[in-house]
C-alpha cells in the first residue's frame, strides 16, 4: 500500500523518533510494563506504522465489503442496509414460561429468537430420566416432546421470526419438532428461517453435551445438510462454534483456528457423502465469542472471514460466492463476567459488543450482568438488549463499513492472527483432521494450557480483573435473582405421563422400530425422525433408539 | 469390627484404607498382611502396559466386564506418573472405568508413581496383596511402560499384556528395545484404524527373532471402544495362565518375582538404615568428597559404610 | 515419606463446563496433591463409590448448571450412609449466595464461586482435612 521508498523513510524516521524522543521519555517515566500483550498473549508494540503493512496488498488482502476475501464484511452495505439481528439467548423452566419470555423480548424490539434448552434436552434425556434429576428447566427450557414445542412457539408465527436453537447432539430431533410445529401453524418448511447449532466437534472439545461417538454424529449432521438443502433451503444447518472453545480458555488465535478446523471437518464429511460443496456451504454459519480485548477481537473476526474465504475457494474449490462468506453470530464472553460487583459486567459487555459490531457480526447476544450469579433476571436481560440498541442507534459506528480498516495495528494484528491460526490448522491437518486431533486430546490439551496460564496470570496479578484482584469492595447482597422452581421437574414428568397415556402408542412403537432399522443403514434419517416426532415419540425415546444403534461417546481427557 | 476384620469381610472402605496405609508405608498395614499372608496367592495378576494413548484404561474396563460376565471378582490398580517437581499427580484412568465404580465385584484404585526408588513397586505389590486378601480373583495392574519402576511392577505380574496401537511409528522401536521381551500377550487396540495389519506383522517379525522359546506370545487385534475381540483376549489370558500352571512355569515365575521382591525390600531397608545413620553423622557427603579427591578409593568407602550398620 | 493429600475432583450432573474443574485439578496437583479426576456426568453414587475406593481426603465438586441444591447434598448423604463423613466435601461453580447457607448446613464445608483464587482452595484444603 506504500511504495518502497516511503517505507524506508518511515523506518528511518521511526528510529529517529525512538532514539530522540521515546528513549528520553522512558528514562524519566518508564513504561508500566516491560512487555505488553493481548489477552491471547500476542505481543503488542508501542506504535504501529505503515512499516507493519509493508507486505499488504489492498485489493488482495482487504478488498471491498461483499467481495472476496471478505475481510471488510460479507454484505456490500453492512449495517447501512440492515442492522445485525439482536438475538438474546433465552429459555428456562417450562415451555409455557419460556414462551412468555420470548413474547416479551419480541415486544421489546428483539428481532430473532434464540432458544436455550435445559441439559437433559441437550443430552437427549426426558425429564423423567434418573440423570435429569435436579437439571430439568435449569439452564434452558425442558422439551420432552412435540407437545412442549407446540407450547414454546404458541402464538409466534414461524414464517415471521428467525429462530436459533442451541442444540447439538439431538439437533435433528429438535429441528424435526420445529418443522412439525410450523406445519401445524400452516407454515411450510421452505419458509422457515433460523439456525441449529448442530456442531458436535466442539462438544467433544469444550462444551460436553455429546451423546454419540464421532462417526454416527457426523452422519446425523450430514443428513441434516442434505435434507435441508432440498426441503428447508433458508435454514442455517450448522453454527460452527468457537464461542465455547474460547469459554473453555482458548486464546483468540486458538478460537479462530479450532473453529475453522471444525468447519473444514464438516465440509469434508459432507463432500464425502457425495454432496456438492456449493449445495450446502452457503448454509454454514459460525458463532464466535466477543472477549475483552477490543482491538484483538475486531482483528479476529476480520482474520476469520479472510481465512475461511481462502479455504473455501482454494481448498474446496467452491464456485458460489455464498460458500466463501463467513457469516457469524456473536455472544459476549460469559467467562469474563464476574460475580464481584456484577454491575461492572454491563461495561464489559458494552466493550465486547462494540468489538462484535466493529468486526461485522450478523447477529449478537449480549450477556446479562448477573450471569455469574444465576440465570438472568428480566431487568438484566433488558439492559443487555438496550446495550445493543445504544450501539446500533446512538454510537455512530454503524454508519460506515469496517471503520477500523487501515489502522496499522488492526491490519497487522489481522495478519498475525491469520498466520498463527493457519499454523494450527496445518498442525491439525498433519494429525489427520479435527476428529483425530480431538481423539488424541491435542486440541483439549492446547486449550487447557492456555486456560491454566491465564488463571495463573490473574492469580499473580499480572492480569488485572477489576473488582476481583484489584479495586475490590465489600460485596452487597444481590437481590432479584431468578430461580427456577423445582416444581418444574414434577410438572414435566406429569406431562410425559399424560402424553404416554393419550398418544397412539402403536404408531410410536412402529415409528421407533423403523428408525432403529434405518439407523443401521446409511439412509438419511431426517424423514424418519420427523415421523417419530409427529407421532409424539419423546426426545428420550428417539435418542435411546439411536443410542442402541450408535453407542455412546466416551470422553477423551488428557490433563 | 476393626480394620482387618472389615477387610476380611469384603468391606470396600476398609480395603481402600489398608491400601492407603500400605502406600504410606505404615506398620499397621504390614501387620495385617502378616496375619493373612498364608491366604494369599489366589488372585491372578495381569500387568497391562503400552504407550500413552493406546487405550489401556478402556481395554482394562472391557476386560473387567468380560471377567465379571464370567462370574469373577476383579481388582484394578491404575498407575499414573507423579510430577517430579511438585510431588502431585493427576490420576485420570478412572474416567474410562466410571461405570465399573458401582459394581459390587470391582475395586478400582488409582496410584501415583510418587518418585522414590522402589517405592512404587512396593506400594503396588502391597496393594496387590491387600486386594488378594480382600478376595478378588483377578487383579489388573495398569501402567505406561516407561520408567524402570513401572516396568518392574509389570514384570511382577503373572501375565503381562502389552497394548499396542497401529501407526506408532518410531515409538515401536523404543518399546521394542525395553519391554517387548517381557510381554506374554500382545493386543493391538483400535484395530479398526488402517495400519493394524502392518503393526501385527511388525510384532510377529520381532517375535520370530526369539525363535526357539517354548512359548510364543499371541498377537491379537481388538477394539476396546467397539468391544471387539475382548472375549478372545480374555481367553488368551486364561490360556496363558493354564499354560503356566500346567508347565510349572507359574511357580517358577512367582518364585523369581518373590525373590526380586524380597531383595528389593531388603535393599530398600538397608539403604534406609544406612542413610539415616549417615544423616546423623552427615558423613556421606564427606566420604564422596574424599573419593572424588582421591583420598579414598570407592571400595574402602564401601567397607566404611557397611561398618556403620 | 510425606503422604500426599488425595482429592477427588468430580463433575456431578449433566453440565459439560469443565474449565474450572480442570484448572482446579491442575492447581491441586501443582500444590503436591494427588488428584483423581473422574470427568463429566457423574452420578452422586459414582462419585461416592470412587471417593471410597480411592480413600480420598477431599471430594471437590463443580456444577454450573444450577443443579447443586439437588446434587451436592445427595453426595454428602451417600457418603454419610457409607460411614465416610470424615471426608471433606467442597463445591464450586455458579452458585447463588442465597443457596450457600443451606448447602453448608447439608454438609458441604465450603463453596467457591467464580473469581476464587486456586490458591485459596489449596489453602482451604490444607487447613481443613482430617488426618
Lowest-confidence region among A200-214, B110-124, C68-82, C111-125: B110-124
Distance CA A533, CA B62 (A): 35
Q: Which residue of A has its CA nearest to B193?
A: A436
CA distance B50 to chain A (A): 15
* Interface touch A208/C13, C-beta < 8 Å: no
Residues of chain C positioned with their CB less than 8 A from the CB of B87: 2, 4, 32
Distance CA B160, CA B237 (A): 9
Residue B40: closest CA among B7, B66, B6: B7
Q: Interface of chain C against chain A, CB under 8 Å?
A: 13-19, 22-23, 25-27, 37, 39-41, 43, 65-67, 69-71, 94, 96-98, 113-115, 117-119
In sign, the C-alpha dihedral spanning A276, A255, A404, A334 is positive
Distance CA A486, CA A136 (A): 8
Q: Which residue of A has its CA nearest to B91?
A: A559
Residues in chain B: 309
The grid coordinates of residue A409 equal 495495528
Dihedral angle over CA of A174, A180, A182, A184, nearest 10 = -150
Residue C2's pLDDT is what?
67
CA distance A549 to chain B (A): 12
Residue B280's pLDDT is what?
62
CA distance C66 to chain A (A): 6
The answer to whether the CB of A201 falls within 8 A of the CB of A258 is no
Share of chain A above pLDDT 70, in %: 99
Q: Which residues have a Cβ under 8 Å from the Cβ of B270 and sit 6 or more positions away?
A: B309
Q: Which helix (H) or strand (E) holds C62?
A: strand C58-63
> What is the widest separation between alpha-carbon atoms in chain B?
67
Domain of residue C62, residue span = 6-128
Residue C31 is assigned to a structural domain of this protein: yes
Q: Interface of chain C against chain B, CB under 8 Å?
A: 1-4, 6, 25-26, 28-39, 42, 45-46, 49-50, 52-55, 82-84
* Interface touch C115/A338, C-beta < 8 Å: yes
The answer to whether the CB of A182 falls within 8 A of the CB of A192 is yes
Q: DSSP alpha helices (H): ranges in B195-295?
A: 196-208, 230-247, 249-281, 284-292
Distance CA C69, CA C47 (A): 16
Residue C73 is assigned to a structural domain of this protein: yes
Helix (H, G, I), strand (E, B) or coil at B307: helix
The grid coordinates of residue B154 equal 509389570
Write the pLDDT tens digit of every residue in B244-271: 999 999 999 999 999 989 998 898 888 8
The grid coordinates of residue C5 equal 493429600
- Cα atoms in the 13 Å half-sphere on the side-chain side of A461: 4
Distance CA A137, CA A120 (A): 9
Residues of chain A positioned with their CB less than 8 A from the CB of B53: 440-441
Interface test with B, best of A215, A554, A555, A556 (most B CBs within 10 A): A554
* Domains held by chain C: number: 1
Mean pLDDT of chain A: 94
Dihedral angle over CA of C102, C106, C107, C110, nearest 10 = -20
Write the pLDDT tens digit of every residue in B68-98: 999 999 999 999 888 888 889 999 999 999 8
- CATH number for the domain formed by residue range(s) A67-459: 3.20.20.240
Residues of chain A positioned with their CB less than 8 A from the CB of B90: 559
Write the pLDDT tens digit of every residue in B4-51: 999 999 999 999 999 999 988 888 999 999 999 999 999 999 999 988
Looking at chain A from residue 28 to 57, which residues have their Cβ under 8 Å from any Cβ of chain C?
Answer: none
Distance CA C74, CA C91 (A): 13
Dihedral angle over CA of C92, C93, C96, C101, nearest 10 = -10
CA distance C78 to chain A (A): 16
Residues of chain C positioned with their CB less than 8 A from the CB of A459: 117-119
- Fill in the DSSP letter of residue A466: B
Residues of chain C positioned with their CB less than 8 A from the CB of B89: 4, 29, 34-35
pTM: 0.91
Torsions phi, psi for A364 (to 5 deg): -150, 135
Q: Would you say residue A494 has pLDDT above 60? A: yes
Residue located via cell numbers 571400595 = B299
CA distance A78 to chain C (A): 35
- Cα atoms in the 13 Å half-sphere on the side-chain side of B86: 16
CATH 3.40.50.300 residue window(s) in chain B: 38-247
Interstrand relation of A284-290 and B44-50 (parallel, antiparallel or unpaired): unpaired
Interface test with A, best of B95, B98, B168, B193 (most A CBs within 10 A): B95
Q: Which residues have a Cβ under 8 Å from the Cβ of A224 and sit 6 or more positions away?
A: A171, A172, A175, A196, A198, A237, A238, A526
Interstrand relation of A162-165 and A113-115 (parallel, antiparallel or unpaired): parallel
Interstrand relation of A113-115 and C34-37 (parallel, antiparallel or unpaired): unpaired
Q: What is the mean pLDDT of residues A459-486?
A: 85
Write the pLDDT tens digit of every residue in A61-113: 999 999 999 999 999 999 999 999 998 888 778 899 999 989 988 998 887 89
- Fill in the DSSP letter of residue A191: G
Residue C104: closest CA among C72, C131, C64, C60: C72
CA distance B242 to chain A (A): 34
Torsions phi, psi for C125 (to 5 deg): -60, -45
pLDDT-derived band of residue C1, with 50, 70 and 90 as boundaries? very low
Write the pLDDT tens digit of every residue in A191-203: 999 999 999 999 9
Integer angstrom CA distances of residue A105 from A110, A334, A342: 6, 20, 22
Distance CA B130, CA B154 (A): 17
Distance CA A274, CA A350 (A): 44
The grid coordinates of residue A526 equal 431426517
Interstrand relation of A235-236 and A193-196 (parallel, antiparallel or unpaired): parallel
Distance CA C130, CA B42 (A): 35
pLDDT-derived band of residue C88, with 50, 70 and 90 as boundaries? very high
Q: What is the mean pLDDT of residues C49-61?
A: 97
Residue C1 is assigned to a structural domain of this protein: no
Distance CA A360, CA A355 (A): 9
List of long-range contacts for B14-18, beta carbons under 8 Å, 24+ apart: B15/B107, B15/B130, B15/B131, B15/B134, B15/C53, B16/B107, B16/B109, B16/C52, B16/C53, B16/C54, B16/C55, B17/C55, B18/B130
Q: Which residue of B has its CA nearest to A440?
A: B53
- Between the ranges A93-97, A129-133, B202-206, where is the mean pLDDT highest? A129-133
CA distance C108 to chain B (A): 21
Q: DSSP alpha helices (H): ranges in A83-202?
A: 95-107, 119-122, 146-152, 171-185, 200-202
CATH class of domain segment(s) B38-247: alpha beta
The grid coordinates of residue A211 equal 451423546
The answer to whether the CB of A437 falls within 8 A of the CB of A425 is no
Q: What is the mean pLDDT of residues B162-191?
A: 77
Integer angstrom CA distances of residue A257 from A421, A439, B287: 5, 17, 59
Residue A72: closest CA among A364, A330, A304: A304
The answer to whether the CB of A260 falls within 8 A of the CB of A300 is no
Distance CA C38, CA A208 (A): 14
Q: Which residues have a Cβ under 8 Å from the Cβ of C16 and sit 6 or more positions away?
A: A203, A206, A207, A208, A209, A210, C40, C41
Residue located via cell numbers 427456577 = A484
Neighbours of chain B (3+ CB pairs under 8 A): A, C
Q: Does B90 touch chain A (CB under 8 A)?
A: yes
Distance CA A526, CA A435 (A): 23
Distance CA B138, CA B141 (A): 10
Q: Which residue of C has its CA nearest to B79?
A: C36
Residue B150's pLDDT is what?
74
The grid coordinates of residue A96 equal 409455557
Q: Which residues have a Cβ under 8 Å from the Cβ of B182 and sit 6 or more positions away?
A: B151, B154, B155, B160
CA distance C18 to chain A (A): 8
Q: Which residue of C has its CA nearest to A341?
A: C115
The answer to whether the CB of B107 falls within 8 A of the CB of C53 is yes
Choose the closest CB to C34 out of B19, B88, B102.
B88
* Interface touch A440/B58, C-beta < 8 Å: no
Helix (H, G, I), strand (E, B) or coil at B45: strand
The answer to whether the CB of A378 falls within 8 A of the CB of A504 is no
Q: Would you say residue A301 has pLDDT above 80? A: yes
Residue B173's pLDDT is what?
59
Here the CATH number for the domain that contains residue C116 is 3.40.50.280
**Other CB atoms within 10 Å distance of the CB of residue B307:** 7
Distance CA A112, CA B226 (A): 43
pLDDT-derived band of residue C100, with 50, 70 and 90 as boundaries? very high
Choose the closest CB to A557 out of B53, B95, B225.
B95
Residue A416's pLDDT is what?
96
In sign, the C-alpha dihedral spanning C33, C34, C37, C38 is negative
Q: From its phi and psi, is residue B114 left (phi > 0), alpha (psi between -120 and 50) or beta?
A: left
Q: What is the mean pLDDT of residues A492-506?
A: 97
Q: Would you say residue A264 has pLDDT above 70? A: yes
The grid coordinates of residue A201 equal 466437534
Q: Which residues of B225-237 are buried (b: 16+ CB within 10 A; e: fewer)?
A: beeebbebbbebb
* Interface touch B16/C54, C-beta < 8 Å: yes
Write the pLDDT tens digit of every residue in A368-417: 999 888 788 889 999 999 999 999 999 999 999 999 999 999 999 999 99
Q: Would you say residue B117 has pLDDT above 60? A: no
Interface test with C, best of B9, B80, B91 (most C CBs within 10 A): B91
**Other CB atoms within 10 Å distance of the CB of residue A552:** 11
**Other CB atoms within 10 Å distance of the CB of residue A378:** 13
Amino acid at each position: 500500500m506504500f511504495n518502497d521508498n516511503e517505507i524506508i523513510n518511515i523506518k528511518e524516521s521511526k528510529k529517529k523518533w525512538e532514539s530522540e524522543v521515546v528513549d528520553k521519555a522512558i528514562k524519566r517515566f518508564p513504561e508500566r510494563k516491560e512487555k505488553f500483550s493481548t489477552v491471547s498473549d500476542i505481543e503488542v508494540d508501542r506504535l504501529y506504522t505503515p512499516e507493519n503493512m509493508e507486505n499488504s496488498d489492498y485489493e488482495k488482502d482487504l478488498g471491498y465489503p461483499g467481495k472476496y476475501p471478505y475481510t471488510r464484511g460479507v454484505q456490500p452495505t453492512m449495517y447501512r442496509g440492515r442492522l445485525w439481528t439482536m438475538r438474546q439467548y433465552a429459555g428456562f423452566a417450562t415451555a409455557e414460561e419460556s414462551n412468555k419470555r420470548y413474547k416479551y423480548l419480541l415486544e421489546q424490539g428483539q428481532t430473532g429468537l434464540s432458544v436455550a434448552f435445559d441439559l437433559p434436552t441437550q443430552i437427549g434425556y426426558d425429564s423423567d430420566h434418573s440423570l435429569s434429576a435436579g437439571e430439568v428447566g435449569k439452564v434452558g427450557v425442558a422439551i420432552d416432546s412435540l407437545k412442549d414445542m407446540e407450547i414454546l412457539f404458541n402464538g409466534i408465527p414461524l414464517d415471521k421470526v428467525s429462530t436459533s436453537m442451541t442444540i447439538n447432539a439431538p439437533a435433528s430431533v429438535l429441528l424435526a419438532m420445529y418443522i412439525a410445529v410450523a406445519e401445524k401453524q400452516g407454515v411450510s418448511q421452505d419458509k422457515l428461517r433460523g439456525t441449529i447449532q448442530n456442531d458436535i466437534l466442539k462438544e467433544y472439545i469444550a462444551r460436553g453435551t455429546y451423546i454419540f461417538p464421532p462417526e454416527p454424529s457426523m452422519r446425523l449432521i450430514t443428513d441434516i445438510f442434505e435434507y435441508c438443502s432440498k426441503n428447508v433451503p433458508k435454514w442455517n444447518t450448522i453454527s460452527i462454534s468457537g464461542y465455547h472453545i474460547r469459554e473453555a480458555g482458548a486464546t483468540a488465535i486458538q478460537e479462530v483456528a479450532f473453529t475453522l478446523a471444525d468447519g473444514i471437518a464438516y465440509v469434508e464429511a459432507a463432500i464425502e457423502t457425495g454432496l456438492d460443496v456449493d449445495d450446502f456451504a452457503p448454509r454454514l454459519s459460525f458463532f464466535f465469542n466477543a472477549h475483552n480485548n477490543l482491538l484483538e477481537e475486531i482483528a479476529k473476526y476480520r482474520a476469520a472471514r479472510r481465512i475461511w474465504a481462502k479455504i473455501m475457494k482454494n481448498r474446496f474449490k467452491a464456485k458460489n460466492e455464498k460458500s466463501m462468506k463467513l457469516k457469524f453470530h456473536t455472544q459476549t464472553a460469559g467467562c469474563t463476567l464476574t460475580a464481584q460487583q456484577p454491575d461492572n459486567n454491563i461495561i464489559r459487555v458494552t466493550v465486547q459488543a462494540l468489538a462484535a459490531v466493529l468486526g461485522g457480526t450478523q447477529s449478537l447476544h449480549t450477556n446479562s450482568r448477573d450471569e455469574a450469579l444465576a440465570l438472568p433476571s428480566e431487568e438484566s436481560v433488558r439492559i443487555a438488549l438496550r446495550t445493543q440498541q445504544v450501539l446500533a442507534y446512538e454510537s455512530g459506528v454503524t454508519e460506515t463499513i469496517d471503520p477500523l480498516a487501515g489502522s496499522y495495528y488492526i491490519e497487522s494484528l489481522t495478519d498475525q492472527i491469520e498466520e498463527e491460526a493457519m499454523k494450527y490448522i496445518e498442525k491439525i491437518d498433519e494429525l489427520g483432521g479435527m476428529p483425530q486431533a480431538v481423539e488424541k486430546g491435542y486440541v483439549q490439551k492446547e486449550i487447557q494450557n492456555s486456560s491454566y496460564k491465564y488463571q495463573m496470570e490473574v492469580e499473580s496479578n499480572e492480569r488485572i480483573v477489576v473488582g476481583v484482584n484489584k479495586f475490590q469492595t465489600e460485596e452487597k447482597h444481590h437481590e432479584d435473582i431468578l430461580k427456577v422452581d423445582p416444581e418444574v421437574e414434577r410438572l414435566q414428568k406429569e406431562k410425559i405421563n399424560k402424553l404416554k397415556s393419550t398418544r397412539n402408542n402403536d404408531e410410536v412403537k412402529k415409528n421407533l422400530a423403523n428408525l432403529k432399522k434405518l439407523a443401521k443403514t446409511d439412509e438419511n434419517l431426517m424423514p424418519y425422525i420427523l415421523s417419530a416426532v409427529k407421532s409424539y415419540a419423546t426426545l428420550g425415546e428417539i435418542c435411546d433408539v439411536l443410542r442402541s444403534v450408535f453407542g455412546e461417546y466416551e470422553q477423551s481427557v488428557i490433563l | 469390627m476393626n480394620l482387618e476384620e472389615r477387610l476380611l469381610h469384603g468391606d470396600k472402605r476398609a480395603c481402600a484404607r489398608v491400601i492407603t496405609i500400605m502406600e504410606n508405608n505404615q506398620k499397621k498395614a504390614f501387620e495385617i498382611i502378616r496375619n493373612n499372608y498364608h491366604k494369599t496367592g489366589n488372585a491372578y495378576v495381569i500387568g497391562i502396559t503400552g504407550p500413552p494413548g493406546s487405550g489401556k484404561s478402556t481395554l482394562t474396563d472391557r476386560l473387567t466386564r468380560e471377567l465379571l460376565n464370567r462370574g469373577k471378582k476383579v481388582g484394578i490398580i491404575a498407575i499414573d506418573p507423579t510430577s517430579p517437581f511438585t510431588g502431585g499427580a493427576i490420576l485420570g484412568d478412572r474416567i474410562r472405568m466410571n461405570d465399573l465404580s458401582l459394581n459390587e465385584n470391582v475395586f478400582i484404585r488409582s496410584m501415583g508413581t510418587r518418585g522414590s526408588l522402589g517405592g512404587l513397586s512396593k506400594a503396588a505389590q502391597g496393594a496387590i496383596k491387600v486386594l488378594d486378601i480382600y478376595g478378588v480373583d483377578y487383579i489388573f495392574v495398569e501402567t505406561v511402560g516407561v520408567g524402570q519402576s513401572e516396568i518392574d511392577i509389570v514384570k511382577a505380574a503373572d501375565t503381562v499384556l502389552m497394548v499396542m496401537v497401529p501407526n506408532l511409528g518410531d515409538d515401536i522401536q523404543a518399546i521394542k528395545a525395553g519391554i517387548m521381551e517381557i510381554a506374554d500377550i500382545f493386543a493391538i487396540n483400535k484395530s479398526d484404524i488402517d495400519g493394524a495389519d502392518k503393526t501385527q506383522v511388525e510384532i510377529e517379525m520381532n517375535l520370530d527373532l526369539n525363535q526357539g522359546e517354548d512359548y510364543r506370545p499371541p498377537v491379537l487385534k481388538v477394539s476396546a471402544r467397539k468391544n471387539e475381540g475382548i472375549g478372545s483376549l480374555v481367553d488368551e489370558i486364561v490360556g496363558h495362565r493354564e499354560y503356566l500352571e500346567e508347565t510349572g512355569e507359574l511357580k517358577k515365575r512367582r518364585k523369581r518375582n518373590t525373590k526380586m521382591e524380597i531383595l528389593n525390600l531388603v535393599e530398600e531397608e538397608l539403604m534406609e538404615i544406612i542413610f539415616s545413620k549417615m544423616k546423623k553423622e552427615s558423613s556421606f557427603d564427606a566420604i564422596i568428597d574424599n573419593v572424588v579427591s582421591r583420598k579414598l578409593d570407592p571400595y574402602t568407602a564401601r567397607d566404611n559404610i557397611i561398618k556403620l550398620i | 515419606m510425606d503422604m500426599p493429600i488425595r482429592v477427588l475432583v468430580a463433575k456431578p450432573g449433566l453440565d459439560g463446563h469443565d474449565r474450572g474443574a480442570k484448572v482446579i485439578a491442575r492447581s491441586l496437583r501443582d500444590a503436591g496433591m494427588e488428584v483423581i479426576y473422574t470427568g463429566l456426568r457423574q452420578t452422586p453414587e459414582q462419585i461416592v463409590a470412587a471417593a471410597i475406593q480411592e480413600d480420598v481426603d477431599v471430594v471437590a465438586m463443580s456444577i454450573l448448571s444450577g443443579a447443586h441444591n439437588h446434587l451436592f447434598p445427595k453426595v454428602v448423604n451417600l457418603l454419610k450412609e457409607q460411614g465416610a463423613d470424615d471426608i471433606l466435601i467442597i463445591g464450586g461453580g455458579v452458585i447463588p449466595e442465597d443457596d450457600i447457607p443451606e448447602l453448608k448446613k447439608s454438609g458441604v464445608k465450603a463453596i467457591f464461586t467464580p473469581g476464587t483464587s486456586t490458591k485459596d482452595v489449596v489453602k482451604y484444603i490444607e487447613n481443613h482435612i482430617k488426618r
